[in-house]
Structure 1
């Protein structure tokens, strides 16, 4: 986290742990705001890989599962970076700011992802670098967030995946139950916007933003789930992160075979469970009558519900077991799992 930005957040009441905003002093209230009001969130817990050079577009097109040719100064997209086995190593959002492409992903997996991408640069005229300390990242969301951003910036992206350059700021609209935006820029410009919007919205910790990803059905890959899910298992074909018409990329044969043979046996669901213990990415879900040696699913991400009545989570489940709806967290004695509705079809 940039020192000036960290000082600004601390002065605003942020409680920080290892560069991550835990809360602004009232986590329960912050969770409740997720469904009812405008919220501002620091996104320093997400990192940025910058990709530059004459062949940056071609390089990314050959590495990612989405059609990166669709990314422009006015359009971002969700994508995935896969191993040769077709399993996701990361699920970044790709956007463009001036002549630079950025991959936005959890900072815990940035270093290994960057290291692996660099292995394939070879003689390509492209450079990759960690730019997490070059730009401040924050999020803004809420029922009135679109109008409030328009008043603050003069305009804002109109549709999901649209991108807008507003002076020094790059604004991305991303999926959400209410209008939701990522904002990237230098410390001074982001600070000025935060101070203006803080009159309308409330600052919240990183968990509240993660909860919005869960409610929106957007998967994030963390160290415990690296190389575990084929993109279709995480519903990427339903949310714009997967193209079956582009050329080759790592794992493409596996992904295409699964698509054309129609043999996807697992997919991502939104679930809830009444428990005070937040499951971790990679934790198991088991079906009635089956032991922990044969899990029916895996937690992708989980957070406490907005009303603190248990947890909300995304989980990749075996479809046949999910249809039986006799699932438990962790083991046969764990909390009962309830399937919830995702905001997209499939």
Structure 2
């Protein structure tokens, strides 16, 4: 199948207020232990200089939300997630607090989320910039989290999340060139990490979006909702679906179905996240697909005769690719 690389200019960097993100604040002596029993990643051993990517799953192992979280204090954590799933996630988590000494609340009216990217952001952060993915640094009452690098045309662009008081966010935005939301969305696609939103909530087991490959699942920790399904998918059966990066000449939207030319009667996958190319020509998306459909035939958006889709390179290797034999 055709694999293409778009001609995407690298941005020099800047900042973007991520209004599509909200923040849950968890406070209390049992806040970390409570969340440890709810999320796919380890919370109990989370250090003050660390952050995590994690999934909140249904009992069936499907991701209801994806979260980036870190400690803001000894008994307080901030969890960033898509704003359109914040309310149901907060409601569902709160149902299970019971007697735990933990209080969860929507802190989105107090805390802003800003995306930082590129050399200009690195220069502004200076020596305090977290150096490795999922490292975290405290900065004047805010936190800065290093994300997976965004790989564009073979070059890794550093990206961070800044989470802090709204008044300080304005100063951050004033100090750096403005990135458009669409530019940030494309950079986020280039990290190979798709956030779960309202259009995709409840559709994917974490491995379908490659979460265990980017630090989003800890298979050594204890139970959490859906843990048995997630572990069984990893160890007892061959994964048949994965996340892939796709290109198209038309816009794509989360939740749109993908069809395969060799079995056009049923969907072969779903768009998880999408954005226009930085060059302004073409569009890209992260999608969940059956692995088999990437080996032959053609992929189409929305219908069997819909717009043609092309596979683009991910910033990391998938296990089935790494295990594939090489020809002499």
Give the Cα–Cα distance (whole angstroms) in 2 for the partners of residues 253 and 63 of structure 1. 13
1:51 and 1:42 map into 2 onto residues whose CA distance is 22
Please name the residue that 1:186 is paired with: 165
Partner of 1:68: 43
**What corresponds to 1:273 in structure 2?**
248
Q: Where does residue 106 of structure 1 map in the other structure?
A: 82
Deviation digits for residues 250-288 of structure 1, max 9, x if unmatched? 00111111111132110000110122xx22111010000
Q: Residues 108-143 of structure 1, C-alpha deviation per residue, up to 9 Å, x if partnerless?
A: 010011111111111111111000011122121013
Query: What is the TM-score with the length of structure 2 in the denominator?
Result: 0.89
Partner in structure 1 of residue 62 of structure 2: 87
Report the alpha carbon displacement of residue 159 of structure 1 after superposing the two structures with TM: 1.3
Residue 283 (structure 2) aligns with: 311
1:336 aligns with 2:272: no
1:75 deviation in Å?
0.5
Q: Residue 10 of structure 2 aligns with which residue?
A: 35
Retained in 2: the 8 A contact 1:34–1:212? no
Q: Which residue of 2 aligns with 1:14?
A: none
**Does the CA contact (< 8 Å) of 1:71 and 1:94 recur in 2?**
no
> Structure 1 residues 309-318 or 172-181, which shifts more?
172-181
TM-superposed CA distance for 1:325, in Å, is: 4.6
Runs of 4+ in 1 over 6 A off after TM superposition: none
Note if 1:176 corresponds to 2:149: yes
**1:130 corresponding residue in structure 2:** 106
Distance across 1 between alignment mates of 2:278 and 2:31: 41
Task: Supply the distance in 2 between the matched residues of 1:174 and 1:147 (Cα, whole angstroms).
Answer: 17
Residues of 2 paired with 1:227 and 1:34: CA distance?
35
Q: Aligned ranges for residues 279-318 of structure 1 at < 5 Å?
A: 279-291=252-264, 293-318=265-290
Counterpart of 2:194? Answer: 219
* Structure 1 segment 197-212 matched on structure 2, within 5 A: 197-198=175-176, 202-212=177-187
Q: Which residue of 2 aligns with 1:229?
A: 204
TM-score of the pair, normalised by structure 1: 0.84
Deviations 1:311-336 (A, max 9, x none): 10000000111221511111122111
Could you say what the CA RMSD is over the residues aligned between the two structures, in angstroms? 1.7
Give 1:191 deviation, angstroms.
2.6
Structure 1 segments unaligned to the other structure (5+ residues): 1-31
Q: Is the 8 A contact 1:169 1:190 kept in 2?
A: no
Q: Distance in 1 between matches of 2:266 and 2:36?
A: 37
Distance 1:325 1:168 in 2: 52
| 2:143 aligned counterpart, secondary structure | strand
Unaligned runs of 5+ in 2: 1-6, 151-156, 319-328
Deviation at 1:64, TM superposition (A): 0.4
